[in-house]
Chain A
Amino acid sequence: DSGVTQTPKHLITATGQRVTLRCSPRSGDLSVYWYQQSLDQGLQFLIQYYNGEERAKGNILERFSAQQFPDLHSELNLSSLELGDSALYFCASSVGGTPTQYFGPGTRLLVL
């Protein structure tokens, strides 16, 4: 157990819908990262937040957005869902000054 938690574990929804994925980092970690893992794309970095501020951006679609709240938990919002958005979404966290990232258990999203 890495200490990073994610909810929900599984999510099944329809195309066009909007979902919110939630992540709580390890105690004391200020940075949160979001990744998408699909069969044909591997682990793709989406976005990083540090202490509430966006720090780095990867291949995140405009339909996706994220935020980090004052209690340091983070939410990833996915809207206008398409079949191709079906994937495992992982959150990771790290202590602010170190690069070591610890992953949560992931949310498996299925868009029908």
Chain B
Amino acid sequence: GENVEQHPSTLSVQEGDSAVIKCTYSDSASNYFPWYKQELGKRPQLIIDIRSNVGEKKDQRIAVTLNKTAKHFSLHITETQPEDSAVYFCAALGGATNKLIFGTGTLLAVQP
């Protein structure tokens, strides 16, 4: 069935460093890949998304890259700040099922 793998499960960086979170998906028909940020006890918030006809998308300090051949996409956060600390989830929209399948999450800790 559809599956999304996410790595690493935890990531600790120093303030100002970059952070990279990677996901792979199984459904080759997937065509939409959002990233959500979730702070403790809060709702998942959409931070960036990318569609399959685009290889890269950037929004200020956040960028997402997509490699459809490898079925792999990544989130890049540059110049990290303590307020970037949260759990980040990747997801892939099933091509046939229209279901959003989530990765298992990455706990990002930015040390001041």
Task: Name A residues whose Cβ lies closer than 8 Å to a Cβ of B.
Answer: 2, 33, 42-45, 48, 55-56, 58, 90, 99-106
Report chain A residues within 8 Å CB of B43: 2, 90, 103-106
Give the contacting residue for A42; candidates B42, B49, B105; CB below 8 A. B105
Q: Are the C-beta atoms of A33 and B100 separated by less than 8 Å?
A: yes
User: What total of chain B residues lie within 8 Å of the partner, measured CB to CB?
Assistant: 20
The 3 A-B residue pairs whose C-beta atoms are closest, nearest first, are A43-B102, A103-B43, A99-B32
Task: Name B residues whose Cβ lies closer than 8 Å to a Cβ of A.
Answer: 32, 34, 36, 42-46, 49, 89, 93, 97-105
| A-B contacts at CB below 8 angstroms, number | 46
Identify the closest chain B residue to A101 (Cβ): B100
**Which residue among A90, A103, A104 has the maximum number of chain B CB atoms within 10 Å of its CB?**
A103
A3 nearest CB across to chain B (Å): 11
